[in-house]
Chain A
């Protein structure tokens, strides 16, 4: 046994179970799905190599185009919506410490509750005739309330609203942790310098919270492309594919149409887009994130 081997062997032995698990359950599926994306494989047939056909089809098919557009629209509602709402909630809770423990727990609760169960409750809230939302709108004098889940215009925003509601507690906790690291004397100095609440928020809070905001932005972007359970339980991608986003489309191809190769290619396109967006974010990071 060489001295180097003797030195690293104990560490390797201890790491081996984790490395095996990582390889079997992470690395192999990642590589296998990448290989698969170049095959046409109906799950019960023999796979046949098709080269870039799956990718070309995705990029040229009108259905994939609509799904990519839906994903972009969903992200455009979900990412700013969830960040803005979580930032407001975190700021409010940060300033009202006495009651914050209760509200912090209450607002975090949706994040840890069963997605399908709460989505079914939301399905009732969005119900056109008997739903809480439309009845509330009617009470406010809005009688022409939309059919939230049946109207192609509103189905995707409805999924986004539920997704925001579910995740906002998680982002709020992350931002609250960031807010609590800001030295309160900055706010006191700003008050003496004449800065009112809004100016203090934009000139002190936001810059000093920028690292947490950047982290939340990346997480929210990733999650915006992964919404599946809520779409599945609320709209099943409908009506007329209006709420089908990429993650649901991958599921549909893989486990309804059993087009494993096509689904794998979709997953890699999603991965590529996310990687690209993250790189763009990191490029712009130094412009607005305070170190």
Chain B
């Protein structure tokens, strides 16, 4: 297990700045994800860590050793590519054995390691097949097999699930999480899919336009996004963003007027509280919005029935979008004007520049806790 440190990493292609002043330490055995929209620089960052690109400035350290100028193989990293990059002319066995032959491992040891990896990844009966004869999930596992046989210090994953269908993606998420639990190796995962990042990661770094917007655990990012960008990016359906004005500030929070409704948001006003009348954005997640007698009036535009939940998409009289995610099916007609309510402690408040006011309520405390059953725990 190894620690990965990025220190003030910057990358420019000509005049185009791709990464800016990026610093982060990924702890030993940690599963860290870089998440962000297309073009935010996350894949470039992974390639810099792998040694396929060189940082313009900054340091990359693995276990305290500066590896910034080393060849990929000398860094002790293994990478799983978005398209898997399996050598098409080699069988599964040859693909997995390739890095071992390259380092000149004795044939018997190679065979042993390949068999072990194949067993772990349920590929034993596919060893003599070529990649073209495998399913997407099997190819994915071969790519992982090629990475794990080298016993790397750090695993790098570049959007490895993006070529799979939704069902297989869900399965592979679980397999990857299990693999991480079993190997305990430091893993760095890049994705544009916040669901992947949220479900597998110990910590997530949200990237935006080449810089880290926020780093935190999935629950921190979900409950305490530091910027509007993070709030918008994390969580699906996306957070409702309602614009309004600040009307008053006191020790209990900031009172805002949204659609002619006064709402006191329990946030820390900080050193520069908003002046009365200044613009603010109130954020509330659709899962925290519920039907209410009083509250915001909005016209239902559409209902998405997803099985376990239904998402109502509505529009306020001033044209602002409002979504509510409710359990099960809902009985509401299209174009009906209904009331929506939410608990002010579930809301977020952002400045016009997109910075969040620190929330006072800690929603994570409400997380359900499972207790071991009477006959003992699972282990």
Residues in A lying within 8 Å of B, measured CB to CB: 183, 185-186, 188-195, 199, 203-204, 207-208, 210, 290
Contact = CB atoms under 8 A, between A and B. Distances in A.
B84 to A, nearest CB: 9
B362 interface: no
Contact of A188 (B85, B98, B99, B103): B85
A188 B146 contact: no
A52 B359 CA distance: 102
A208 B85 CA distance: 13
A242 B73 CA distance: 53
A183 B72 contact: no
Interface string B83-101: 1010111000000001100
B102 A199 contact: yes
B81 interface: yes
A279 B233 CA distance: 61
Contact of A194 (B73, B79, B87, B88): B73
Contacts of A183: 83, 85
Given A188-B52, A189-B79, A195 B102 contact: yes
Tell me whether chain A's interface is mostly helix, strand or loop, or mixed: helix
B298 interface: no
B50 interface: yes
A178 to B, nearest CB: 14
B52 A193 contact: no
Interface in B93-149: 98-99, 102-103, 146
B78 interface: yes
A192 B72 contact: yes
B52 A191 contact: yes
A185 B83 contact: yes
A191 B83 contact: no
Nearest to A192: B72
Contacts of A210: 89
Contact of B146 (A193, A199, A203): A193
Contact of B98 (A185, A193, A290): A193
Given A208-B89, A290-B89, A192 B83 contact: no
Interface residues of B, number: 21
Given A192-B72, A193-B146, A194-B72, 16 more contacts: A183-B83, A183-B85, A185-B83, A186-B85, A189-B79, A189-B87, A191-B51, A191-B52, A191-B72, A192-B52, A192-B73, A192-B79, A193-B73, A193-B150, A194-B73, A203-B98
A50 to B, nearest CB: 52
Nearest to A208: B89
Given A194-B73, A195-B102, A189 B89 contact: no
A193 B83 CA distance: 16
A186 B73 contact: no
A290 to B, nearest CB: 4
A191 B102 CA distance: 10
B102 A186 contact: no
Interface string B61-93: 000000000011100011101010101110000
Contacts of A192: 50-52, 72-73, 77-79, 99
Interface in B28-81: 50-52, 71-73, 77-79, 81
A194 B89 contact: no
Contacts of A199: 102
A195 B72 CA distance: 10
5 contacts: A188-B50, A191-B52, A193-B73, A207-B89, A210-B89
Contacts of B102: 193-195, 199
Given A186-B87, A199-B102, A290-B89, A191 B81 contact: no
Contacts of A203: 87, 98
A189 B81 contact: yes
A193 to B, nearest CB: 4
A183 B102 CA distance: 20
Contacts of A207: 89
Nearest to B147: A192
Contacts of B98: 190, 193, 195, 203
A253 to B, nearest CB: 46
A183 B83 CA distance: 10
Contacts of A188: 50, 52, 79, 81, 85
Nearest to B152: A192
A189 B87 CA distance: 9
Contacts of B51: 191-192
